[in-house]
């Protein structure tokens, strides 16, 4: 998939970031990308439903979604060609390649239909991706544009660790910056603003002493 020139620098940065890390990514991230499995449990995908992960990385989450919801149809999007290579291997190893479609695109500038031939998805989610995406609000808006009126959009990402020691928060943020990750302090008000504009409700939760945040933008009220 061709991505626009203005996205190429970010794509190259992500490829450099993950070229070697992707081989140890799943083994290491399980200790600090907390809340991913509760988010997946909360997707509650309808039978035969379609699920899109924006910023799907190694495919670890899509594989778990596939196992949790055996009839779900899986779609993944990422800007990094090397991460998509790993995702394709993961999903094939899990025997899920037959019901998965992966595409390379910039989350802030995509339209789902031409990429996947799907008019709308039942579930869209972003797991620890928004904190790596410059202009992340646009990614949420693109995700909502790809969502069925009765569907929901789910986000899990770093919180602000307000109920953890200050030294832990400072150390975590400094360490994450090396990997181009910036926890988004204004995630809740910005998601509330975007959800309101889309005429959808927002549910927002803090997990693990505010280590992580979990948000759900729900179905349009006339659809629930
Ligand atoms: C920290 S990883 C999270 C991967 C996976 N979602 C997980 O929970 O393990 C962030 C992913 O977002 C992707 N990403 C970053 N910026 C992006 C963008 N603008 N468009 C699409 N994907 C992007 C990266 O390439 C990477 O695979």
- pLDDT digit string (tens) for 124-136? 999 999 999 999 9
**Residues 1, 204: Cα–Cα separation, whole Å:** 34
Closest CA to 215 of 103, 107, 131, 105: 131
Task: Give the mutation target among 65, 129, 130, 140 for probing the ligand 1 site: most ligand atoms within 8 A of CB.
Answer: 129
Check residue 50 and give its pLDDT. 98
Closest CA to 217 of 142, 162, 115: 142
Ligand 1 geometric centre to CA of 55 (Å): 4
Mean pLDDT of 181-192: 98
Check residue 3 and give its pLDDT. 63
Contact yes or no for 149/182 (Cβ under 8 A): no
Report pLDDT digits (tens) over 8-50. 888 888 888 888 788 888 878 888 899 999 999 999 999 999 9
Q: What is the DSSP string of 93-120?
A: HTT-GGGEEEEE--TTS--HHHHHS-S-
For the cut 70, the answer to whether the pLDDT of residue 224 exceeds it is: no
DSSP H or E segment with residue 159: none
For the cut 90, the answer to whether the pLDDT of residue 5 exceeds it is: no
The answer to whether the CB of 131 is under 6 A from ligand 1 is no
DSSP H or E segment with residue 88: helix 81-93
- Atom 12 in ligand 1: which residue has the minimum CA distance? 55
The answer to whether the CB of 56 is under 6 A from ligand 1 is yes
pTM over 0.85: yes
Please report how the helices 60-68 and 81-93 are oriented relative to each other, as an axis angle in degrees rounded to 10.
30
pLDDT band at 4 (very low <50, low <70, confident <90, very high): confident
| Atom nearest to 80 CA in ligand 1 | 25
Check residue 62 and give its pLDDT. 98
**Residues 216, 142: Cα–Cα separation, whole Å:** 15
Q: Which long-range contacts (CB under 8 A, 24 or more apart) does 9-13 make?
A: 10/79, 10/106, 10/134, 11/79, 11/80, 11/81, 11/104, 11/106, 13/180
- Atom 25 in ligand 1: which residue has the minimum CA distance? 80
Mean pLDDT of 155-180: 96
The answer to whether the CB of 140 is under 6 A from ligand 1 is no
Mean pLDDT of 207-220: 97
Ligand 1 geometric centre to CA of 27 (Å): 17
């Amino acid at each position: 998939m061709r991505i626009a020139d203005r996205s190429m620098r970010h794509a190259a940065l992500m490829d450099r970031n993950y070229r070697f890390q992707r081989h140890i990514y799943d083994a290491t991230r399980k200790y600090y990308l907390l809340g991913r499995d509760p988010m997946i449990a909360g997707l509650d995908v309808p039978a035969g439903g379609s699920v899109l992960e924006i910023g799907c990385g190694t495919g670890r989450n899509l594989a778990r979604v596939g196992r949790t919801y055996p009839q779900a149809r899986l779609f993944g999007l990422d800007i990094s060609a090397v991460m998509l290579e790993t995702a394709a291997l993961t999903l094939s190893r899990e025997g899920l390649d037959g019901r998965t479609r992966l595409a390379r695109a910039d989350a802030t500038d995509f339209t789902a239909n031409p990429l996947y031939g799907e008019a709308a998805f039942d579930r869209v989610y972003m797991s620890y991706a928004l904190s790596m995406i410059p202009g992340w609000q646009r990614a949420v808006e693109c995700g909502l544009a790809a969502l069925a009126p009765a569907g929901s959009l789910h986000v899990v990402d770093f919180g602000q660790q307000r109920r953890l020691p200050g030294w832990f928060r400072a150390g975590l943020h400094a360490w994450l910056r090396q990997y181009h990750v910036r926890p988004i302090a204004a995630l809740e008000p910005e998601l509330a603003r975007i959800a309101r504009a889309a005429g959808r409700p927002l549910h927002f939760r803090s997990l693990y002493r505010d280590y992580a945040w979990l948000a759900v933008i729900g179905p349009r009220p006339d659809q629930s």
